[in-house]
Chains A and B, each alone.
Chain A
Amino acid sequence: MATIIARPESRTGHREQLDLASVAHGRIMLVLLIFVAISTVMAGKMVWMGVAAATQAERSISPIPVPHRADIVDRNGVPLARDIDGYAIAVRRDRLLGDPRELAEKLHGIFPDQTVGHFYKLLTSGGQWNYLRTRALPREVAAVNALGEVGIEFPREPERLYPQRTMAAHLIGFVNRDGHGAMGVERAFNDRLVDLNMRGQPLQLSMDSRVQAALEDELIYGMEDQKAKGAVGLVLDSRTGEVIAMASLPTFNPNRIDPIPSPPPVVGKDGKLYPGKITCDMSPRCNRVVQARYELGSTFKPLSFAAAMDAGIIVSMAKRYDATAPLQVGGFSIRDDHPLGRWLNVPEALLHSSNIVTARIADEMGQKPLEKAYRSMEFDRPATIELREQAGTLFPGKWYRTTIMTTAYGHGIAVTPMHLASAYAALVNGGVWHPATVIKRKPGEKIEARRIFSEETSARMRQLLRMIVQTGTGRNADAVGYRVGGKTGTAEKPKDGGYARRSLVSTFASAFPMEDPRYVVVVMMDEPQGSSRTPGVRTAAYTAAPVVKSFVARAGPLLGVFPEANRDIDISELKPLVEGDKESE
Chain B
Amino acid sequence: MSGNDEGITLIDGGAPRPGKLGQLEMALSPLRPRPRKPLPRERTALAIWFWEIDRVLLGLIIVLIAIGLVAVAAASPVAAAKLSSAENTLAPLYYFYRQLMWIALGLPIMIVVSMLPRVQARRLAIALSIVFGLFLLLVPVIGTNVNGATRWLGAGMFRFQPSEFLKPVFVVSIAWLLSMRARDPSLPVISLTAMLTGIVALLLMRQPDFGQTVIFCACWAALLLIGGASMRIMTTVGLSALSLFVLMYLFYENGRERIDAFLFPVKDAIEGPDQVQLAHATITHGGLMGVGPGGGSAKFNLPEAHTDYIFSVIGEEFGLIACVAIAMVYLAIVVRVLLRLLDEEDSFVILASAGLAIEMGLQAIINMGVNIHIFPSKGMTLPFISYGGSSMIALCGGVGLLLAFTRRNPYMSRSPYGMTWSGR
Contact = CB atoms under 8 A, between A and B. Distances in A.
Contacts of A19: 228
Contacts of A47: 288, 320-321, 324
A20 B8 CA distance: 13
A2 B17 CA distance: 8
Contact of B320 (A2, A35, A46, A150): A46
A28 B338 CA distance: 7
Contacts, number: 134
Given A16-B182, A53-B287, A45 B372 contact: yes
A6 B346 CA distance: 17
A128 interface: no
Interface in A41-55: 41-43, 45-47, 49-54
A24 B9 contact: no
Interface stretch (A7-15, A60-68, A185-193, A257-265): A7-15
A69 to B, nearest CB: 24
B8 A17 contact: yes
Contacts of B347: 17, 20-21, 24
B335 interface: yes
Interface residues of A, number: 43
Contacts of A9: 14-15
A46 B350 contact: no
Report whether over half of chain B's contact residues are helix, strand or loop; otherwise say mixed: helix
Report whether over half of chain A's contact residues are helix, strand or loop; otherwise say mixed: helix
Contacts of B319: 50
B202 interface: no
Contacts of A29: 342
Nearest to B184: A16
Contacts of B11: 10, 14
A50 B228 contact: no
Interface string B1-21: 000000011010011111001
A57 B298 CA distance: 15
A6 B14 contact: yes
A39 interface: yes
B358 interface: yes
Interface string B331-358: 1001100110110111100110010001
A38 interface: yes
A5 B182 contact: no
Interface residues of B, number: 55
Given A3-B15, A28-B338, A49 B350 contact: no
Contacts of A150: 294
Given A10-B15, A38-B365, A150-B294, A20 B287 contact: no
Contacts of B324: 43, 46-47
B131 to A, nearest CB: 29
B369 A49 contact: no
A512 to B, nearest CB: 58
A42 B372 contact: yes
B226 A27 contact: yes
Given A6-B15, A50-B321, A39 B327 contact: yes
A42 B361 CA distance: 13
Most buried by A among B287, B315, B330: B287
Contacts of B335: 32, 35-36
B327 A32 contact: no
A146 interface: no
Most buried by A among B11, B330, B351: B11
B15 A35 contact: no
B228 A27 contact: yes
Given A21-B350, A42-B327, A32 B334 contact: yes
Given A20-B181, A49-B320, A42 B374 contact: yes
A36 B328 CA distance: 9
Contacts of B361: 35
Interface in A326-373: none
B350 A28 contact: yes
Contact of A28 (B14, B181, B285, B342): B342
Nearest to B92: A95
A24 B365 CA distance: 23
Given A3-B15, A28-B350, A42-B369, A54 B288 contact: yes
Contacts of A16: 182-183, 185
A273 to B, nearest CB: 43
Closest 10 CB pairs of A and B: A6-B15, A50-B320, A53-B284, A50-B288, A23-B228, A2-B16, A39-B331, A46-B320, A43-B324, A17-B182
Interface of B: 8-9, 11, 14-18, 21, 181-183, 185, 222, 225-228, 280, 283-285, 287-288, 294, 315, 319-321, 323-324, 327-328, 330-331, 334-335, 338-339, 341-342, 344-347, 350-351, 354, 358, 361, 365, 368-369, 372, 374
5 contacts: A2-B16, A18-B345, A23-B228, A28-B342, A31-B225
Interface of A: 2-3, 5-7, 9-10, 13-14, 16-21, 23-25, 27-32, 35-36, 38-39, 41-43, 45-47, 49-54, 56-57, 150
Given A19-B228, A25-B350, 11 more contacts: A3-B15, A3-B16, A21-B182, A32-B334, A36-B331, A36-B335, A47-B321, A50-B287, A50-B288, A50-B320, A56-B284
